[in-house]
Homo-oligomer: A and B are copies of this chain.
Amino acid sequence: MAKQEKLVEAITSMEEDFAKWYTDIVKKAELIEYTSVKGCLVIRPYGYAIWENIQRIMDGMFKASGHENVCMPMFIPESLLQKEKDHVEGFAPEVAWVTHGGSEKLEERLCVRPTSETLFCEHYANIVHSYRDLPKLYNQWVSVVRWEKTTRPFLRSREFLWQEGHTIHATADEALEETVRMLNIYAEFCEKYLAIPVIKGQKTESDKFAGAVSTYAIEALMHDGKSLQAGTSHYFGDGFARAFDIQFADKDNTRSYPHQTSWGVSTRLIGGIIMTHGDNNGLVLPPAIAPIQLIIVPIAQHKPGVLEKAEELLAQLNAAGIRAKLDSSDNSAGWKFAEYEMKGVPVRLEIGPRDIENGQCVLVTRHNREKTTVALDALVDTVRSQLEQVHDALYNAALANREKRTYRCTSMDEIISTLEEHGDGYVYAMWCGEESCEDEVKEKTLVGSRCIPLQQEQISDVCVCCGKPAKHMVCWGKAY
């Protein structure tokens, strides 16, 4: 059998063309494949396995904090979408409309959910009657559709996978507490499992979710200095409850409107992983969500005993709960090195005849290509500690990058010159709270408000735009 080795082609470097570097990785690491419908993509097994790991961990965090999963229909009747005024204005322009079932025209057209507040509200109206029915802490893992003009894999697609939490509470305080609780869970997840440091903050009025009283978000700085909104958590007050006439009998039998929240993260997180940790050799995956945590590459695998030893190590690692895989295909070791670097596997294990003789193997960490020779009887412990070290190294590098690229400015001119000199990043600057100043900053400096960080600094006393007394420090930047 002739060797028909597939080539691992080089990818565009991120310095040359960041957008192309990104899509090269998405394709060549086999995360995504395009289809004939723009903005609707196939998530391939390797990409989907990352999402499954994200789901599993996050779902555990949701359940541990008392949430239950449900599943709402995907269709929303037009009249239902229209019940909350701000909400329909925000979403109607970008929904996909179903008009026919089989050959019959529907009496009322249905949109494919762009988000499910209205469906949850209809349901709450059916099942919430008494204070005893509250709170309901619901979540669902589904796909949603938003008919975007420009699309990019994971970052903005017409259909995307996400989870949407929807909760309903007897009091405003409880709902607000939930809004912040979920923001904190998102931040903890990103930092602890994706090795992505995030800024927790509140969105400005102009940037709120359609129908929300307040929107909170976590923002992460990507390699190119742009910000990715990685998760959002909304407080609705009783606006939706009033629009959908959801009322409950309180303990003293008076009728009240309950208070609601919703919160979501999506497959966007995978885009965030790529643009936070990836390099010019491909993907770099944080160990907690890597489908393969360690790849075994046998050296001179035709020599007696090599594959047997590799299988033995594989069994040992898998038994220890490490997601290890052995590539015993007839591709060359060099090809395998490049392939699993492209796929971002955190640790590579090389084992050949000489290693076996010496009772050792070689471990190479993906992010820094550092080699370590390890005695086979210390293998499992060493791999475990290397996986932890990889996580920490990725997190620290991302944090250092963000700190290096966070600029504190006290004037518009300083914002402009700083970004000109250093390139994109976060600008911390004060703001009076007026939308006109927010617009003017964006127009003149090209950076918009990402959020009002919960952790405030008093950079100056006055608004960077109008010079009037400042209300907030805003984190400004360009966004995905």
Contact = CB atoms under 8 A, between A and B. Distances in A.
B74 A45 contact: no
A97 B147 CA distance: 15
Interface of A: 1, 4, 6, 33-37, 40-45, 48-49, 51-52, 68-75, 77, 80, 92-103, 110, 112, 119, 122-123, 126-127, 130, 132, 138, 142-143, 145, 147, 158-159, 161, 251
B45 A69 contact: yes
A43 B68 contact: no
Given A42-B70, A112-B112, A36 B77 contact: yes
Interface core residue of A35, A49, A73 (most chain B CB under 10 Å): A73
Contacts of A92: 102
Nearest to A92: B102
A167 to B, nearest CB: 13
A34 B37 CA distance: 32
13 contacts: A35-B72, A40-B74, A41-B73, A42-B119, A43-B70, A45-B69, A49-B68, A52-B69, A94-B101, A96-B98, A96-B100, A96-B110, A97-B98
Contact of A251 (B1, B99, B100): B1
Contacts of A33: 123, 126-127
Interface core residue of A45, A99, A101 (most chain B CB under 10 Å): A101
A96 B77 CA distance: 14
A71 B96 contact: no
A41 B97 CA distance: 19
A128 B142 CA distance: 29
Contacts of A143: 71, 74, 142
A68 B93 contact: no
A98 B80 CA distance: 18
Contacts of A70: 42-45, 48
Protomer copies: 2
Contacts of A80: 36
A122 B94 CA distance: 26
A110 B48 contact: no
Contacts of A35: 72-73, 119, 122-123
Contacts of A34: 126
A467 B94 CA distance: 63
A103 B93 CA distance: 6
A147 B251 contact: no
A63 to B, nearest CB: 10
A123 B80 CA distance: 36
Contacts of A123: 33, 35, 42
A42 B69 contact: no
A441 B355 CA distance: 72
A369 to B, nearest CB: 28
A73 B147 contact: no
Contacts of A93: 102-103
A126 B77 CA distance: 36
Given A99-B97, A159-B75, A37 B110 contact: yes
A6 B4 CA distance: 70
A4 B130 contact: yes
Nearest to A68: B45
B45 A75 contact: no
Nearest to A101: B147
Contacts of A37: 73, 75, 77, 110
